């Protein structure tokens, strides 16, 4: 049976090599952080532009509140009676279902 001795070899890294490795690692980390920051900034810019567009469209709208919408008023007169009637509640409003026990 052969007997192998483990010999730990010291790795001699010069100061210049160490600084080079740290510089490469830093550049890789910086590039990743910059890319992530750039994505977040683009996302925030898109959200702000979308909100401005919605507000701009809302200012132009003739009907800004659902209870003033002629189509909705007509639907209630012909079909559902009035807002919050039992039929309107059944058809147009959602109900909360506790699904915690299902899992």
Q: Alpha-carbon distance 103 to 97, whole Å?
A: 13
pLDDT digits (tens, 9 = 90+) for 9-20: 777 888 888 899
Q: Taking 70 as the threshold, does the pLDDT of residue 103 lie above it?
A: no
Can you give the pLDDT at residue 1?
A: 59
Number of Cβ within a 10 Å radius of residue 21: 11
Predicted local distance difference test score (pLDDT) of residue 49: 92
Q: How does the average pLDDT of the chain come out, rounded?
A: 83
- The Cα–Cα gap between 52 and 32 comes to 30
Q: Which of the four pLDDT bands, split at 50, 70 and 90, describes residue 38?
A: confident
Q: What is the mean pLDDT of residues 34-50?
A: 87
The CA distance from 54 to 61, in Å, is: 11
Task: Give the Cα separation of 91 and 85 in Å (integer).
Answer: 10
Query: What value does the mean pLDDT take over residues 67-85?
Result: 83
pLDDT class of 41 with cuts at 50, 70, 90: confident
- pLDDT recorded at residue 22: 92
């Amino acid at each position: 049976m052969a007997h192998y001795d483990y010999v730990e070899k010291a790795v001699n890294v010069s100061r210049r090599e160490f600084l080079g490795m740290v510089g490469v690692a830093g550049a890789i980390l910086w590039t990743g952080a910059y890319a992530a920051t750039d994505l977040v900034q683009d996302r925030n810019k898109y959200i702000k532009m979308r909100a401005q567009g919605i507000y701009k469209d809302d200012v132009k709208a003739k009907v800004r509140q659902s209870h003033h919408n002629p189509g909705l008023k007509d639907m209630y007169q012909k079909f559902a009676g009035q807002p919050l009637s039992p039929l309107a509640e059944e058809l147009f409003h959602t109900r909360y279902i506790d699904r915690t026990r299902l899992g």
